[in-house]
Structure 1
Amino acid sequence: MTAHQMSAPELADAVNDAIGDFTGKTGTTSERTVFRWLSGENQWPQERQRRALEAVTGLDATALGFLPRGKRNTVPPALPKDPDVRRRKFCSAATGTAAAAVIPLSTPSSRPSRVGTSDVIRLRDDVERLVALDADRGGHGRLERAALAGADEALGLQKQSTTQRVRQRLFALASDFTATAAWSLIDAGQLDGAGRHLDRALTLAGLAQDPEMTMQVWNLRAMLARQRKQYAEAVAASQAAQATTIVRRSPLHASLAHARNAVGLAHNGDKRAALRCLGRAEDALAKADLAQPRSTWIAFYGSAELHSLTAIVRDVVGDPAEAEAASHRALAALPESYRRNRAHTTARLALAQLHQGDIEQACATSGDVFAIMAGAPLPGRMRQLLGDFQRDLIARAPSAHIAHEWTDRYRTEWSPS
């Protein structure tokens, strides 16, 4: 319930919808029934409720902590570290080669007559599926189109919803899908349409009255402005993110907002303010409980990402040695599964080494980017970063031969695909 941000009435609604899916008649589970499950008063729900709970959560009843009759004196089984096993397998399957060709969103075999929490959960799963695909291969056109299709479905469903709470959640999901489409374009280096998507996502976040979605959109707006070299706008967008109520409530979100502001201030030439923001980001992250469930869009953020953003700030303000150290800390903290983050941070490390005049080491480090990606297409944003490296290499190399050799060596891997 915490992971899905569900109240007891919403879980009861989802269970009743699921019962309706396989019996043809909506269930009668009440809020009180849910509280009895939570308290342990009812340790083994009725069969149809167990089936519905398994359908809603992707977990069997014992993994949810229930005990079959006759086993009440045994210790309840511990929840797995990765509780939503079905979703994890589902997302993993989505990142395979078949999913790279087509990205269909989930389509239930039979639509419940009443739009409710089960639809919210299903669409949230679809958002997570798209995020998993983005993590595997980066932003691309099919991902954008699939995300916009998800937004259209969420908006269609909100028109049929019978409760204000579900309508607002569907507006929030539409905002999330639309922001995902915008991020796909930003990551692919196709910036023209991203701003339009973000404008729409911000409107939807407002209709949802969802401060976290609002903060997500302003965070992406700051990234887009920086990519366009509109640094004053990047600062303004990151400050708008800082003003959202989720930032006041959540140290994790506050840390990201301060770090993003630091990047914009650094590019805008305000070194002292940028370093102050980095300090605030570090202080806020130290207060965050990283073990708590969080929204999919901010799952990437933690100490590794903060070190990576610190490396950008330090390099931009003219402290390449500090940038190199921060890049090494980021690489040490990154999980192995974050391949694209590792490649991007490695490219930043190469730039920091280059800016210290260590030409040979910088060229060797930049070559690691292609090894990390292992022949996978480089997202447009990463190609742009390598373009920055090439330009700086040409400007700083003692001879043109070194830059030409680097370009010739990596031309094939670097070329768009």
Structure 2
Amino acid sequence: MSAAELTDAVNDAILKLTGKTGATSERTVFRWLSGENQWPQQRQRIALEIVTGRTITDLGFVPRGKRKTVPPPPPALPEDPSVHRRRFVGAATGTAAVAVPLVSSGFRPSHVGTSDVIRLRVHVENLVELDAERGGHTALERAALAGASEALGLQKRSTTQRVRQRLFAVASDFTATAAWSVIDAGQLDDAGRHLDRALTLAGMAQDSEMTMQVWNLRAMLARQRGEYAEAVAAAQAAQTTTAVRRSPMHASLAHARTAIGLAHSGDHRAALRSIGRAETAITKADMTAPLPIWMAFYGPAELHSITAIVRDVVGHPAEAEAASYRALAALPETYRRNRANATVRLALAQLHQGDVEQAVTTSGNVFEIMAGDPIPGRMRQALGDFQRDLITLAPSAHIAHEWIDRYRTEWSTP
């Protein structure tokens, strides 16, 4: 949540509690964040607890008269209370509990407010988590489109212009999630249509964050289709967004996406310059700052993975192998799909250095990592690239035919 969104949410909660709109302002929120105001008014305290699902002291506020004697936080929560005050505004992961009291109460006023937007955003986050666990699939696409339809349906009810724009933004987020689902599943026919719609909604919302997300996905879709000039153009469009100008992390992703398109286009020097810009930008990013949920995948590990792709495409397989190892070292064990993708890139880099036996062994690890889950379409495509290059580089090798016989069914089955 931004400061403005928290302001609206608190005032909405006060309206539901008292029948009168609250007078909380963005300046009030900033005073909470800075610690200048450590104990809000009673109605604001109650509203904050409703909106966040946490007690007022859990949020880092300190009652008057107890500020000198309040005990230090327990070991499990070592952060200074001001950290909690800063984090609960804007923390993408913190919204999982947001609006639960309002939703579970069954109260559905005719007026659409910030609480409705928050509820829908929680739904988007749940879909993103499902995607991270299972990969893109048709059911996720349908659920995302249903969420977009609900958000647009709320436009027909009484609301403010600010909330209306946020509903457009969340509808854009749902639609982009649907597009990503089919891109990851390798079902590209509907992805372009979804992204066109998502970009229109982002424009109506005047939301730079969503615009950046759509251009990022457009670049990925174009690359999968082999439309590399479009991939570069989409990534460069992402670079022009306000979100990129404000955030080094966003800038790093946009430059990295540009680098992939340039590498596949054959402009190798420009590709290496772009990946260098991505590396420079990420060193300027605050790694503790919360990211929007759609960007949760991006960080040093993902940049290493993208670097591996770029280096391999431009003909530097040894550097690609090193980048893949760095990606795998930085990825948490729970990120199974990311680890599997990085492992495919590692196998390709080894293969392109002529180390066929090691590459075959490495590629086999992909199926162990993904055991029990279907292999997403993008990963199947990468494995198909591995098989093609394996046959090209070692057409008569027994080990190549053994790999094909062993894994063909596993990687080719949707």
TM-score (norm. length: structure 1)? 0.87
1:231-242 matches, cutoff 5 A: 231-242=228-239
Residue 4 and residue 127 in structure 1: after superposition, are their counterparts in 2 closer, same or farther (change >3 A)? farther
**How big is the shift at 1:243?**
1.6
Whether the aligned pair in 2 keeps the contact of 1:14 and 1:56 (CA below 8 Å) is no
Q: Distance in 1 between matches of 2:359 and 2:6?
A: 55
1:358-369 matches, cutoff 5 A: 358-369=355-366
1:223-238 matches, cutoff 5 A: 223-238=220-235
Please point out which of 278, 285, 297 is paired with 1:281. 278
Whether the aligned pair in 1 keeps the contact of 2:252 and 2:282 (CA below 8 Å) is yes
Please point out which of 54, 60, 63 is paired with 1:59. 54
Q: Secondary structure at the match of 2:166?
A: helix
**How big is the shift at 1:336?**
2.0
TM-score (norm. length: structure 2)? 0.88
**How big is the shift at 1:116?**
1.2
**How big is the shift at 1:153?**
1.2
**How big is the shift at 1:52?**
3.8
**How big is the shift at 1:167?**
1.2
Tell me which residue corresponds to 2:322: 325
Whether the aligned pair in 2 keeps the contact of 1:66 and 1:76 (CA below 8 Å) is no
**How big is the shift at 1:119?**
1.1
| Residue type of the alignment partner of 1:333 | A
Ranges in structure 1 where 5+ consecutive residues have no aligned partner: 91-105
1:343-382 matches, cutoff 5 A: 343-382=340-379
Please point out which of 405, 412, 415 is paired with 2:402. 405
Whether the aligned pair in 1 keeps the contact of 2:12 and 2:21 (CA below 8 Å) is no
Whether the aligned pair in 2 keeps the contact of 1:15 and 1:27 (CA below 8 Å) is no
Whether the aligned pair in 1 keeps the contact of 2:336 and 2:370 (CA below 8 Å) is yes
Q: Distance in 2 between matches of 1:371 and 1:10?
A: 48
Residue 334 and residue 208 in structure 1: after superposition, are their counterparts in 2 closer, same or farther (change >3 A)? same
- Structure 2 residue 290 is the aligned partner of structure 1 residue 293: yes
| Residue type of the alignment partner of 1:113 | S
- Structure 2 residue 26 is the aligned partner of structure 1 residue 30: no
**How big is the shift at 1:114?**
1.6
Which string of whole-angstrom CA distances, capped at 9 and with x for unpartnered residues, describes residues 168-199 of structure 1? 11111111110000000000000000000000
Residue 76 and residue 37 in structure 1: after superposition, are their counterparts in 2 closer, same or farther (change >3 A)? farther
Q: Secondary structure at the match of 2:308?
A: helix
Whether the aligned pair in 2 keeps the contact of 1:8 and 1:31 (CA below 8 Å) is no
Residue 30 and residue 359 in structure 1: after superposition, are their counterparts in 2 closer, same or farther (change >3 A)? same
1:99-248 matches, cutoff 5 A: 109-248=106-245
**How big is the shift at 1:219?**
0.6
Identity %: 70
**How big is the shift at 1:373?**
1.2
**How big is the shift at 1:30?**
2.0
Question: Alignment RMSD, CA only?
Answer: 2.6
Residue 4 and residue 57 in structure 1: after superposition, are their counterparts in 2 closer, same or farther (change >3 A)? farther
Tell me which residue corresponds to 1:254: 251
Larger mean CA deviation between 239-248 and 258-267 belongs to 239-248
Please point out which of 6, 9, 13 is paired with 2:7. 9
Tell me which residue corresponds to 2:76: none
**How big is the shift at 1:40?**
5.9
**How big is the shift at 1:42?**
6.3
Q: Distance in 2 between matches of 1:236 and 1:209?
A: 21
Which string of whole-angstrom CA distances, capped at 9 and with x for unpartnered residues, describes residues 349-382 of structure 1? 0001001110000000001111111221111111
Runs of 4+ in 1 over 6 A off after TM superposition: 80-86
Residue 37 and residue 290 in structure 1: after superposition, are their counterparts in 2 closer, same or farther (change >3 A)? closer
Whether the aligned pair in 1 keeps the contact of 2:10 and 2:47 (CA below 8 Å) is no
Q: Secondary structure at the match of 1:360?
A: helix
Q: Secondary structure at the match of 2:4?
A: coil
Whether the aligned pair in 2 keeps the contact of 1:247 and 1:257 (CA below 8 Å) is yes
| Residue type of the alignment partner of 2:303 | L
Q: Distance in 2 between matches of 1:42 and 1:243?
A: 39
Whether the aligned pair in 1 keeps the contact of 2:311 and 2:317 (CA below 8 Å) is yes
1:39-78 matches, cutoff 5 A: 39=35, 41=37, 43=39, 45-46=41-42, 50-67=45-62, 71-72=66-67, 73-75=69-71, 77=73, 78=79
